[in-house]
Amino acid sequence: MLMPLSSRRSLLVVSLIAVFALALYASKQYEPPKVSNADTYPAHDAHTNEKVTIAADIYNTEQKASIFRLKYLDKGVLPINLIITNEGGAPVALTKMTVQLVAHERHAKLSPMEEQDIFRRMTHAKRSDDVARTTSPLPFPTKHKVGGLKQEDQDEVEHAMFQARAVEPNNTQSGFVFFDVSDLNDALAGATLYVTGIRDGGGNELMYFEIPLDKAK
């Protein structure tokens, strides 16, 4: 028995929409968001003497997170765009920079996820060890890959993660740090982002930066 013409047309339209949606997803490439000086963001901490400002731009809504292919929020992963502006006359070094999110809820202290941890979260894989990562220098992207994710998705994680090793004079660097907030009901309520380990041209460590994340919600 033949399907009515109207039903066949409807089925064809639905099929074409599905194919178009899949093609659009497959062709979507991650492009880092454009950023401004750090002091233009609501959540920032400025060190006027050193002329360095750090801001946190939180991607905690579906609209903002639509720049990504991967659905980080659905997996309990919170992306935060870290923006560092240096308006001084010498570069500042970031190679020993440490970032920590301190949540009011349960007084949780969270370090940024490593690239491999993000891969595992996206694929539901488990770590090969039971050791939780403690505060340490920022986990810069690596070239190690794991199965279960498309190459485009792995590339997105690598390209999105904060990678800058320094900020030149009168320049701004940015990149994402990702936090596992799956065990928290409201990770941002009363939360603070601490950034330490930034050094000036003489190797002297700057005072820590304290960024209240409530302002970025």
Return the DSSP state at 104: S
For residues 44 and 167, give the distance between their C-alpha atoms in angstroms, rounded to a whole number: 17
Segments making up each domain of the chain, as ranges? 1-30, 32-216
Q: Give per-residue pLDDT as tens, 161-216.
A: 999 999 999 999 999 999 999 999 999 999 999 999 999 999 999 999 999 998 77
Residue carrying the six token digits 């949780």:
108
User: 32-216: which CATH number, 1.10.3720.10, 1.10.1660.10, 2.60.40.10, 3.40.50.970?
Assistant: 2.60.40.10
Residue 88 has pLDDT above 50, yes or no: yes
Query: What's the mean per-residue pLDDT of the chain?
Result: 85
Residue 105 has pLDDT above 60, yes or no: yes
pLDDT bracket for residue 29 (50, 70, 90):
confident
pLDDT bracket for residue 8 (50, 70, 90):
low
Q: Give per-residue pLDDT as tens, 107-139.
A: 999 999 999 999 999 987 554 444 344 444 566
195 with 65: CB under 8 angstroms?
no
